Amino acid sequence: MTTLPGWPGDESPFHPGEQLIQAREGMRDRVERAGRKVIRAAMPDQHRELFGRLPYLVIGGVDAARRPWATLLAGPPGFVTTPDDRTLAIAAAPVDGDPLAAALVPGAPIAVLGIELATRRRNRANGTVAARAAGGLTIAVAQSFGNCPQYIQARAPLAPPGEPAPAARGCRPRRSRSSAARTPASSPAPARRPAAAIRARAPTSRTAADGPASSPSPTTATRPCSPCPTTPATTCSTRSAT
């Protein structure tokens, strides 16, 4: 597998607020190293390909009072294009009355989430609004990175009435551990094992060459998540590689 280039330059890929939280939790150096591996200054080809086939896109921004908002933009697949690896062109805009409708002016910061539920792929981009028109907007991408799919439930898309069902590509939804562990009321309770037969599992420690990483919660257990068997869960709670 080809290793994609990481974060260029000497400045940190994290803004001052992120750095402050990382330092408070004693994770600053660790997260900085991981972030430089998976956060990029341009979109890799697989991110551009995913954005181009999505029928919806989630964007985030702040209003005039600096309050954060998220909203959904939708259109037929192909309404999002990437003229180059640093530009996202979206043929849709927030509707009138949306808190972000008046906030997304040229120069405004913007965050983008592209998620494909059938395959559990999720890609992110941060940047600024480069241009705004009545029917859409253009984003200058400054950061591109993927997210771990651990907490995404696979879902098959449904077609509107009278239209053919879209192809359901991707993995089957996984049954949660809690539901898998449930025992029917009519079944006898399982026999309890002797204490001597119960062995404590040691935490798994692994490194990710280009895997998920960002501002992890210090309370997250250090264990590999099932979709990312080579990556500690402490590094895939936020930013990560696809």
**Which CATH number fits the domain that encloses residue 234?**
2.30.110.10
8 A C-beta contact, residue 111 and residue 126: yes
8 A C-beta contact, residue 100 and residue 71: yes
> Is the pLDDT confidence value at 221 over 60?
no
Inside any domain, residue 125 = yes
Inside any domain, residue 195 = no
From residue 7, alpha-carbon distances to 39, 56, 176 in Å are 6, 28, 35
Radius of gyration of the chain (CA): 21
8 A C-beta contact, residue 123 and residue 142: no
Q: DSSP secondary-structure letter at 61? A: E
> Is the pLDDT confidence value at 217 over 70?
no
31's CB contacts (< 8 A; 6+ apart) are 14, 22, 213, 214, 215, 216
Inside any domain, residue 4 = no
Per-residue confidence (pLDDT) for residue 166, from 0 to 100: 60
What is the C-alpha separation between 1 and 229, in angstroms, rounded?
Answer: 16
Q: DSSP secondary-structure letter at 179? A: H
pLDDT digits (tens, 9 = 90+) for 184-208: 444 455 555 544 443 444 444 444 4
| Best CA proximity match to 6, nearest among 144, 154, 131 | 144
Inside any domain, residue 189 = no
- Locate 18 and state its tokens: 């992120």
What is the extent of the structural domain holding 130? 16-152+208-240
pLDDT digits (tens, 9 = 90+) for 19-55: 999 999 999 999 999 999 999 999 999 999 999 999 9
Domain count for the chain: 1
Inside any domain, residue 175 = no
- Locate 82 and state its tokens: 């990437």
Question: If DSSP codes are grouped into helix, strand and coil, which group holds residue 71?
Answer: strand
pLDDT digits (tens, 9 = 90+) for 136-167: 999 999 999 998 888 888 888 777 787 766 65
Inside any domain, residue 41 = yes
Inside any domain, residue 230 = yes
- Locate 78 and state its tokens: 């192909």
Per-residue confidence (pLDDT) for residue 61, from 0 to 100: 96
Inside any domain, residue 194 = no
What is the C-alpha separation between 90 and 75, in angstroms, rounded?
Answer: 9
pTM above 0.95?
A: no
Per-residue confidence (pLDDT) for residue 156, from 0 to 100: 81
| Best CA proximity match to 126, nearest among 235, 18, 234 | 18
What is the C-alpha separation between 213 and 138, in angstroms, rounded?
Answer: 28
